[in-house]
DNA sequence: AGAGATTTTGCGGGATCCCGCAGGTCCGGA
DNA sequence: TCCGGACCTGCGGGATCCCGCAAAATCTCT
């Protein structure tokens, strides 16, 4: 049986070559190794060749890995995907765990892991069909689900909203909340991020909390560019749908 | 003469191996190739071994490449450094061109460049002593110096300030400007970033301009995490110096 | 030196943000 | 059943932000 197929989605040619070599060594029963150098073509190749096993990088120019994974899993939810990436940002971890379908085998491995770990992960996921999550990632997942330090989905949601630069009122519309509720959530967020009115000890307001919260989130790796980019696309869709719905006060006022 | 030395500062082991190979092939007269896997130890090795030629990645965990380059150049300004990185973000380009000493030979090459380009750049910089800037980077540099699309240093400065989450008043103090001037600069910034009161066509204020400006800057790659991190450190230093200077209204009010 | 562009500063007001206080709903445990 | 905790909501006010108008200062040419 050499009908096994693996698709590599990775934009760095050096890493691509490295991966191909690792696959050929760890999975000798693999008959075909395909390569794609960006998310877009990766989606297409996965579809056309009906590849059951994929290893990909998050963080690419064209289609952010998470995007690619989402569409691939939407079309064929039983695809096994191993994410192989540099960063353990909570933003990525959240992005991935949000889209993984129930029962799918997947893995999350840091590029800093040893070659042995990589080969082991390849076999575990693609042959045994079991999930492999890097230990460091586990830590991030844990922390994210911890009520005291981590962030609720609703808190994360509003964090994204202010990161996008939305007004309180706009957020209220979008999330179907009252204005006060939005401000309420914001207060909780500020508190959890530690951007209270007394950053150091007791000096007078140096920070605009709204903007400061975003910065702190970025520094803490809760947010990164691709998460914002993703949210921005969602926002644009919502805006379009809404321009039609209530175009009344366009020229007026 | 085989007294040539080259230091590789790069946290990815795969890329490190690739670089070593490229160096040995392009610079056969090179007698010693050193490796460091993060910025901190890179600085140290450069100092201890007095390495004249360095190739490094921006974007590392420990010490952001730009940091490393700054200290290295401060100690020995005639060091030749080739930056080899994934991104052409304006944030990086600005960061580098701010610290390169007059007359130093340096290069800026994207990792997506071919292996031949890399070898050519190695010889040009380390043997010929001339600068090699990737064409794509050139484009970014150009744009940055163009008055119409690009951003002035003062504009970029205030962009960083609001990205950090400072209030208008705090910025005014820090930059020694009146409150109104700060707001003025902000208006110019908003205009240049295209975050005017009419994002699409004419709907009513959906965005908090201050926060929106930061997001747009991130999406346009004017800002990235390491730029913010750098600015944050500067800010902290300023804050400390200032807590001593005017601690009067600590407990009061 | 003088004309023109750019930048800085002040004033003022309307919109927004930040948040304390208080009342309402919903839900799981005693 | 009642209670305590969580979340949402309205009201109100002080601080901040956004910005038009206009005068002064500064810079840049010729």
Residue partners of B89: CB distance under 8 A and separation at least 6: B140, B221, B222, B224
pLDDT above 80: residue B143: no
Structure-token pair, residue B45: 């090795």
Residues B194-253: tens digit of each pLDDT? 887 654 434 578 999 999 999 999 999 999 999 999 999 999 999 888 765 554 433 332
Q: Is the CB of A194 under 7 A from strand C?
A: no
**Which pLDDT belongs to residue B245?**
53
Span A184-234, pLDDT tens digits: 999 999 998 988 765 443 457 799 999 999 999 999 999 999 999 999 999
In sequence order, what are the residues at sequence separation of 6 or more whose Cβ sits closer than 8 angstroms to the Cβ of residue A225? B218, B219, B221, B224, B225
Residue A219 near residue B232, CB atoms below 8 Å: yes
pLDDT of residue B2: 60
pLDDT at A249 over 80: no
Render pLDDT for B75-96 as a digit per residue (tens, 0 to 9): 999 999 999 998 888 889 888 8
For B48, the token pair is 């201890």
Question: What's residue B197's pLDDT?
Answer: 66
Which residues, at least 6 apart from A236, have a Cβ–Cβ distance to it below 8 Å? none
pLDDT at A185: 93
Question: A143 and A149 in contact (C-beta within 8 Å)?
Answer: yes
Radius of gyration of chain B (CA): 21
Least confident of A43-57, A143-157, A168-182, B123-137: A143-157
A210-219, B171-180, B181-190, B194-203: which has the minimum mean pLDDT? B194-203
What is the rounded average pLDDT for all residues in chain A? 87
| pLDDT > 70? residue B159 | yes
Give the CA-to-C1' distance from B144 to D24 in angstroms.
Answer: 31
Q: In DSSP terms, which residues pair with A106 in a beta bridge?
A: A81
Mean pLDDT, rounded, for A140-162: 84
- Nearest nucleotide over every DNA/RNA strand to the B178 CA, judged by C1': C9
Per CB-CB distance under 8 Å, the chain A contacts of B206 are 166-167, 170, 239
B167 CB contact with strand D at below 7 Å: yes
For residue B31, the model assigns a pLDDT of: 84
Please give the model's pTM, rounded to 2 decimal places.
0.86
Of residues A13, A163, A249, nearest to B215 (C-beta):
A163
pLDDT in tens, A90-148: 889 888 888 889 889 999 999 989 999 999 999 999 999 999 999 999 888 887 777 66
């Amino acid at each position: 049986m050499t009908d096994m197929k693996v698709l590599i989605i990775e934009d760095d040619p050096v890493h691509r070559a490295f991966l191909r070599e690792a696959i050929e060594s760890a999975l000798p029963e693999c008959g075909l190794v395909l390569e794609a150098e960006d998310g877009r073509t990766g989606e297409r190749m996965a579809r056309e060749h009906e590849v059951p096993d994929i290893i990909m990088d998050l963080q690419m120019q064209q289609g952010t890995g998470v995007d690619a994974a989402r569409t691939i899993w939407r079309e064929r939810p039983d695809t096994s995907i191993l994410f192989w990436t540099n960063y353990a940002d909570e933003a990525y971890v959240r992005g991935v765990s949000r889209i993984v379908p129930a029962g799918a085998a997947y893995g999350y491995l840091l590029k800093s892991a040893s070659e042995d770990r990589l080969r082991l992960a390849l076999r575990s996921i693609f042959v045994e069909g079991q999930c492999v999550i890097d230990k460091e990632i586990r830590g991030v997942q844990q922390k994210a689900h911890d009520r005291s330090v981590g962030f609720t989905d609703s808190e994360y949601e509003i964090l994204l909203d202010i990161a996008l630069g939305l007004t309180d009122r706009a957020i209220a519309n979008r999330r179907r909340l009252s204005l006060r509720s939005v401000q309420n959530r914001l207060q909780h967020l500020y508190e959890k991020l530690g951007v209270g009115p007394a950053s150091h000890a007791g000096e007078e307001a140096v920070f605009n909390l709204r903007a400061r919260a975003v910065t702190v989130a970025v520094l803490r790796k809760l947010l990164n560019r691709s998460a914002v980019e993703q949210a921005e696309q969602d926002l644009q869709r919502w805006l379009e749908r809404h321009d039609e719905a209530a175009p009344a006060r366009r020229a007026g006022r």
